Amino acid sequence: MRNTVKLLIVSLIVITAGFAVTIKLRRPSSAATSPLDHLIVHEWGTFTSIAGKDGVALEWRPLNGSTDLPKFVHTMQTATSGLRHPQSKADLAATIRMETPVIYFYADREMDVTANVQFPKGKITEWYPQARDVGTGINWGRIKIEPGAAFNLPADYSDNHYYAARETDAAPVRICATTGKSIEQEKFLFYRGVGTFDLPLAVTLENNRVALRNSGKDLIAQLIVFENRDGQIGFQAIDNFSGATTIDRPVLDKNTDTVIQQLRQALVVAGLFDKEADAMIKTWRNSWFEPGMRVFYILPRSATDATLPIEIDPQPEQLVRVLVGRTEVITPEMEKSVKEQVRLLNDSSPKVRAEAATAIQKYGRFSEPILKRIIEDEKDPTLRARIKRLIDVRAAD
């Protein structure tokens, strides 16, 4: 009996030890078969729109004017391959300008990845590096992620805001152009476009009150109502916004650094690395905080994925997408100023006419929507005709 008990005990010890050894051996084996677990992909970008009087985004020509990109960036005008629907940029009227999405890759070793972004309600207009297919979406095909590789990044030796996006710890990416001859390298995948689709936030301004309405199903994690009036800065932040609310125009008692700190924190909370948030703000600082009123908000991830479905293969361990909505608000002060300048375009003095034209042009790509807003309520037929001519001229540029 004793021998039988001893035999059972020894058997249990052997069996138990066998299980322990088996479990111990399987753990490193499982880890060894998952070399791509450390692929991380982060993206940031902006959707710019102009609020109409009813809160609905106005149609405008966001590409009307000179480019703000380096010469090496591929565009729908200069592309010789990969573009399915070439068209003059001045003809592209839309409600949304998708500005500078950049996709960063982080990996612990060199690897091949495929990347494809669809834009079903829009059109891709600029991109870099070269892509295999461009149209209502962009497909770069297979790219190589090269952590630690020496940089050989293009430059046109200008002080362009494009380059700020490189100031991160992301790995360089390399892709063969569609010709199969040249190789292009960058710190990210860059693309832009225009489209007509609904964003979740509607903004209206009436009697110095800002009305905000979230028409989406998800909370807007943070929005910031910002105004720069003749160099005086004000803003108001709202967290976890849903439904609708009306607030006063911001009190102009802040400074640019304060609003940058607020916006930077919102970007980091949304998932961006510190350097990515800094790169995004540096890219758009001159435009975001210039004179005028605008609302910034972090798009819910569901809205981003619905507007820009993305496919990365192999699937990254982490995919962060932080798209910022930027809604420009045409203020009464802007309308009044432009209207006065339009009247001066008929002045007898060439100098006065030239100064008036310059004053209107300072609004850049937003001048056409402002003129369209003014003509809606203008009763003077002479002034209406003059405004219409200005609109036509801008449409033809």
Count of domains observed in the chain: 2
* Residue 367 confidence (pLDDT): 86
- The pTM of this model reads 0.85
Mean pLDDT of 250-276: 97
231 within domain boundaries? yes
Tokens encoding 313: 């293969």
For residues 112 and 163, membership in a common domain is answered with yes
pLDDT at 35 over 60: no
233 within domain boundaries? yes
For residues 74 and 144, membership in a common domain is answered with yes
For residues 340 and 309, membership in a common domain is answered with no
* Residue 37 confidence (pLDDT): 56
* Cα 45 to Cα 324: distance, rounded to the nearest angstrom: 6
For residues 341 and 284, membership in a common domain is answered with no
* Residue where a domain terminates, one of 275, 297, 329: 329
113 within domain boundaries? yes
Residues 6+ apart with CB under 8 A from 327: 48, 49, 50, 51, 57, 199, 201, 203, 294, 295, 297
Sign, CA torsion 271/277/283/288: positive
pLDDT tens-digit series, residues 352-388: 999 998 998 888 888 888 898 888 888 888 888 888 8
For residues 295 and 374, membership in a common domain is answered with no
For residues 309 and 343, membership in a common domain is answered with no
pLDDT at 70 over 90: yes
96 within domain boundaries? yes
218 close to 302: Cβ distance less than 8 angstroms: yes
For residues 199 and 345, membership in a common domain is answered with no
* Residue where a domain terminates, one of 277, 298, 329: 329
For residues 284 and 226, membership in a common domain is answered with yes
For residues 339 and 324, membership in a common domain is answered with no
159 within domain boundaries? yes
Tokens encoding 165: 């996006």
For residues 106 and 136, membership in a common domain is answered with yes
Mean pLDDT of 226-253: 96
Pairing of strands 189-195, 122-128: antiparallel
pLDDT at 82 over 50: no
- Longest CA pairwise span in the chain (Å): 123
* Cα 112 to Cα 35: distance, rounded to the nearest angstrom: 12
Domain that holds residue 314: 36-329
Tokens encoding 50: 């102009």
For residues 368 and 310, membership in a common domain is answered with no
- What share of the chain has pLDDT > 90, as a percent? 63
Angstrom CA distances, 84 to 77, 161, 205, stand at 12, 28, 40
Mean pLDDT of 148-173: 92
pLDDT at 9 over 60: no
3 or 264, which is more confident? 264
* Residue where a domain terminates, one of 276, 302, 329: 329
For residues 74 and 209, membership in a common domain is answered with yes
105 within domain boundaries? yes
24 within domain boundaries? no
Mean pLDDT of all residues belonging to the chain: 86
29 or 100, which is more confident? 100
8 within domain boundaries? no
Q: pLDDT-derived band of residue 329, with 50, 70 and 90 as boundaries?
A: very high
* Cα 94 to Cα 85: distance, rounded to the nearest angstrom: 16
118 or 55, which is more confident? 118
Mean pLDDT of 160-187: 86
